Chain A
Amino acid sequence: AQRVTQPEKLLSVFKGAPVELKCNYSYSGSPELFWYVQYSRQRLQLLLRHISRESIKGFTADLNKGETSFHLKKPFAQEEDSAMYYCALSGLRGAQKLVFGQGTRLTINP
């Protein structure tokens, strides 16, 4: 079964502190993993994907196949990082549906 688990519904950290949003998945095969973000009053948008292995807005995420995890990290949180974050997966072949976690609301306190 395909499943994405984000164990924290809410996460609050202070500005300048490190941030880690957890994501675990189950999938039979090799999935593609994504992080989507939704800022207040904006639409859902792609933040990063594991295949590109890039850092976006200071965020990185490493796919750990052994632990089936794809945690999102940022060393120094900024107030503009406050948003709803969704971890998602899809198959690697073809245009595939996304399977989302329930999301984590990140709040950065000044």
Chain B
Amino acid sequence: GAGVSQSPRYKVAKRGQDVALRCDPISGHVSLFWYQQALGQGPEFLTYFQNEAQLDKSGLPSDRFFAERPEGSVSTLKIQRTQQEDSAVYLCASSLRTSGSYEQYFGPGTRLTVT
């Protein structure tokens, strides 16, 4: 079946604009994660959903970042009033299980450039 998909693949935003990044997880996957990957760095955790419940948002860098997954499937990461330091690749990953040994399947990422 299809893997995790993300859209748009590339986004250029002017400083101060709001952006919305979409993630379509693998069908039936309960867990969904968002990560931020700055240039030359490894991915860093932003937030985690189990179905529609956001169980961990400890990695969101500021209150300008907001994520939702209202129906337990598609998720949107919204960044308000973008800043240059928000420029990064945003990765979404989904996992079938909620506990035990599991594998996270990653999407291709959305590359956000804030000018």
Chain A: residues with Cβ within 8 Å of the partner, total of 23
Output the residue of B4, B59, B97, B104 with the most chain A CB within 10 A. Answer: B104
Instruction: Evaluate contact between A95 and B108: CB separation under 8 angstroms.
Output: no
Whole-angstrom CA separation of A97 from B50 in the bound complex: 12
SS class, residues of chain A in contact with chain B: loop
Q: Which of A41-49, A63-71, A74-82 contacts B (4 or more CB under 8 A)?
A: A41-49
User: Given contacts A44-B106, A88-B42, A100-B35, could you give 17 more A-B pairs where the C-beta distance is less than 8 Å?
Assistant: A6-B42, A43-B4, A46-B103, A46-B104, A49-B101, A49-B103, A94-B98, A94-B99, A95-B30, A95-B31, A95-B50, A95-B95, A95-B99, A98-B35, A98-B43, A102-B40, A103-B41
A-B pairs with lowest CB-CB distance, top 8 = A100-B42, A97-B45, A95-B31, A44-B106, A94-B99, A95-B98, A102-B42, A43-B108
